[in-house]
Chains A and B, each alone.
Chain A
Amino acid sequence: MKTFRKGGVHPAENKISSGSSILDLPVPGLVTVHLSQHLGVPAQPVVDKGDSVRTGQLIAKSAGFVSANIHSPVSGTVQKIEPVPDITGYPKMAIVIEVRGDEWIETIDRTDTIVRPDKLSREEIIARISEMGVVGMGGATFPSHVKVSVPKGKKAEILIINGVECEPYLTSDHRLMLEKGEEILIGAGFLMRALPVDQAVIGIEKNKPDAIEHLRKLSSGYPGIRVEPLKVKYPQGGEKQLIKAITGREVPSGGLPIDVGAVVHNIGTAFAVYEAIAKNKPLFERVVTVTGKSLAKNANFKVRIGTPVSSLIEAAGGLPDDTGKVISGGPMMGRALPGLNAPVTKGTSGIVVMKANESVRKTVMNCIRCARCASACPMGLEPYFLMSLGDARRWEEMETARALDCMECGSCSFTCPSNRPLLDYIRIGKTNVNRILKARKS
């Protein structure tokens, strides 16, 4: 069974919600749509306070190449456009919409019939992806039209669809593969035509045998697409790790996947691409896993962007008394939320409610130089060394120690027997190294 070679860990899987099918979450009374839902330049609002909007209507326009359109997830009135705290608690510009009914724009095909438009050209597909505001749904929210526009001089050879879902607890991609398999394969077909490549591989970890079986059966009808079962290992869902596992190629330090001829898209992105092209539906809702060991109803919800996290937890049976942390994203790479009013964004793949005794940080002890972090690091870095450099604020040396290669998977902190916050110090180093690089450029 294939996997990546360097490092990796295997946290307890805890995929409690993998059996719950995707449910529609009722539209909330008020949604908060941040203008920075994606990596890159924040979008420019095209509506004003007091305007009426309909579901699917463009409310903020992409403000550059690396940027994405944002569409209204609900119908109603724009209440205000002003800074509202996002999941980090920092106020960021957002459009707040008061919901009235649920009136969709006419162009969206709301039926479940499978449509297979096959006359579209490459440019038309890319334009449609960009117009419908599709971004990477795995969590990094990189605008998808940028990823499919292969730069001059580079050639894409293989498309990899990421169905790994290596984060513990999360099951949104798993459910999507089981319930929307056909759509995902058609979406992958669009992406193949846009690049253009003639082969696509769907990578799925073998802890999802039903998804592997299902997609394998369906993919026989789609030439060029095959399913590759992978060994269970975190962080296999990382772009560079997945490319290594499937093709055996290694993305060079500081390079991009396209340097080795690969382009990776998430399962959720393939589905969003299908909806954008075949159904004319902009990206304004996504599947979010709401899970936790003491949560009453572990569930996968189809949620409108901008819905407050509190209403998701409410729908899952309310916040249990023994809650210690609520995490947006998976427990390895996600962020603990400082409050429950934060809205769901295009990148929210799950809400994990951790029990108090699970989420306690153990006492930090001295480094014993066991080098477990170095053997766990999938990028081949030396986290213990980077942490001491970060603590001593020696940023130039961190740069030469390749701190920027760190993808913040958290394997080092997870594996440390002295409970040292390795990643926290590396992250701060990355911020400062980036600042230095920027200063050097100007």
Chain B
Amino acid sequence: MNTIVITIISLSLIGVLAGVILFLIAQKFKVFEDPRIDDVEAVLPGANCGGCGYPGCRNFADACVKSENLDSLFCPVGGNDGMVKVAAVLGRAAVAKEPTVAVVRCSGNPDYRMRTARYDSAPTCEIASGLFAGDTACSYGCLGLGDCEAACDFDAIHMNPLTLLPEVIDDKCNSCGACVRACPKKIIELRKRNKKDRKIFVSCVNQDKGATARKACSVACIGCKACQKVCEFDAITIGNFLAYIDPVKCRLCRKCVEVCPTNSILEINFPPRKTAESELCLTEISPN
């Protein structure tokens, strides 16, 4: 009996003593952390995708609290709504950004782009692109090994087994840019998200001369400037035999799509056109 009482009393004393020591040490070595970091982190999406340029959401929250203004900080997943919430927590003004979406700029499926070699080493685009230019005559096009699919945290980009090209699911895409960074051929671009997810873009990144590009792929941009001539909004620039449509200047008039001799400009999510012929053409070239 006596032994039990002594044990209980001595253990309790040790416990209390240890507690007091720990409390004192905790007071002495207290690290001050801005409580607003926790508040900001709470309103962030918590995806830890790295799309903002920081390793994770907490690092981004820390950067938001420490910076003078929010001009250069943007969470692509939370979007403008998310940044308004962050701004409200910190009592600063949020800067609105146009929402963007990932767009794959290559239409070279096996029907348009003949395979000239067979690749059988490690199945990642990064390794393949270090070894050779690609298994078709186009050295700029998609390798079809799916580094973008593996990089996406949101299940928004998938390889289509028939076209061997990646396809973006617009609703799921948060434009974090992981696929853009993963693609060694720099094919994927973040472009302005339009009403009803409508898109007009040059679906090609080939910078070879027209004849070489056309020989390698029948839907390659040949830099003929037909689209540039027809554009009323000065949205199209041509460099290195490749057209580029500025997503901000473009008003989605679709005139360039009609004149493109190689069908390399795609229009997506538009209502069908009047004539039966161009409609057929549309369904044929659209990867969606």
Contacts and interface: CB of A to CB of B under 8 A. Distances in A.
Contacts of A90: 132-133, 139
B127 A89 contact: no
Contact of B139 (A89, A336, A360, A428): A89
Q: How large is the interface on B (under 10, 10 to 19, 20 to 34, 35 or more residues)?
A: 10 to 19
A361 B121 contact: yes
A431 B133 contact: no
A89 B121 contact: no
Nearest to A390: B127
A425 interface: yes
A89 B132 contact: yes
B271 interface: no
A421 B122 contact: yes
Interface string A111-155: 000000000000000000000000000000000000000000000
A89 to B, nearest CB: 3
A339 B208 CA distance: 17
A88 B208 contact: no
Interface residues of A, number: 17
B116 interface: yes
Contacts of B135: 338
A103 interface: no
Contacts of A428: 124, 126-127, 130
B121 A335 contact: no
Contacts of A431: 130
B135 to A, nearest CB: 7
Contacts of A89: 132-134, 139
A197 B127 CA distance: 42
B25 interface: no
A395 B121 CA distance: 21
Given A338-B116, A339-B116, A428-B127, A421 B121 contact: yes
Interface string B181-209: 00000000000000000000000000010
B34 interface: no
A179 interface: no
A424 B139 contact: no
Pick the 6 closest A-B CB pairs, nearest first: A89-B133, A338-B117, A421-B122, A424-B122, A361-B120, A90-B133
Interface of B: 116-117, 120-122, 124, 126-127, 130-135, 137, 139, 208
